[in-house]
Amino acid sequence: MVLTGVVAAPDEPIIDVPTLARALSAPEPPALLDVRWRLTGPPGRADYAAGHLPGAVFIDLDADLCGEPGPGGRHPLPEPARLQEALRAAGLRAGSDVVVYDGGDGLGAARAWWTLRWAGHHAVRVLDGGYRAWLEAGQPVTTVVPAPPRGDLTVRPGGLPVLDATGAARLAGGDGVLIDVRAPARYRGESEPVDPVAGHIPGAVNLPISEQVEADGRLRAADALRSRFARVGVDDGVRVGAYCGSGVTAAQAVLALHRAGRPDAALYVGSWSDWITEPARPVATDPRG
């Protein structure tokens, strides 16, 4: 389904520290997931053990929220039954409010937000500024690891649109706008620090994630995001999707698109790490697309 009109998002996907602090003191507080993560490792479990929001449960982005690396890319879709088990073990219940947070760069939290939305659980928001903002606001932290009752959330894939390589090629080829959110040098094929092939999907436009977030990693305001997306052709009625190296940073771009009023934005989950697994797929290095 294509939604026309770039308007204010019907459900704000971001929650700030004061609002979360008030919500946590309510009779039915939201469930908290700590998704601190680094691309080059190690997992954020040690950070969680050193201190986390009271009541938060750690969830591993690589092991719990993504599938095994392979032909589908470095962070492919998770197997639904395995994801469901991880979320139930974290205490998530059907219909419950969920807040996800990371260290502050927004990447792990955005992929967790996207995965929960894709799995059919829509009551999920990202803590603006993550753990860093919580600390800076003087809010309490703990080293106590909670033991929540087992949840009953059912994973129902399809809650958000997904692109495969064919769909990404169609968008980039004129069916819409495919945004490459990697750094310009990677887009132009001048450097590639992670994947074995440099370049981009022909026809994709480059809007680095650095233009979608503030210097501290928080998403820009909705109006600022709309103007940036419009600059690369995301106009009324135009289909839009995003990709990056492996589908984590691009999830943050999809979060930004939701904030800008585009809940129809699609994620190419496998992203560049999937695209290059097939040698016959074309690779571009021309900065004009």
The residue annotated as part of the active site, out of 15, 163, 169, 244, is 244
Give the three-state DSSP class for 281: coil
**Are 171 and 197 in contact, with CB atoms under 8 Å apart?**
no
CA distance 91 to 80: 17
The CA–CA distances, whole Å, from 271 to 40, 72, 286 equal 17, 9, 19
- The residue behind tokens 């389904």 is 1
Contacts of 18-22 with CB under 8 Å at 24 or more apart are 18/137, 20/99, 20/127, 20/134, 21/137, 21/139
Active-site annotation holds for 66: no
**Are 66 and 117 in contact, with CB atoms under 8 Å apart?**
no
Please name which of 181, 169, 164 lies closest in space to residue 242, comparing C-alpha atoms: 181
The CA–CA distances, whole Å, from 287 to 32, 75, 183, 210, 284 equal 41, 26, 12, 18, 8
CA distance 92 to 122: 12
Catalytic sites, residue numbers: 244
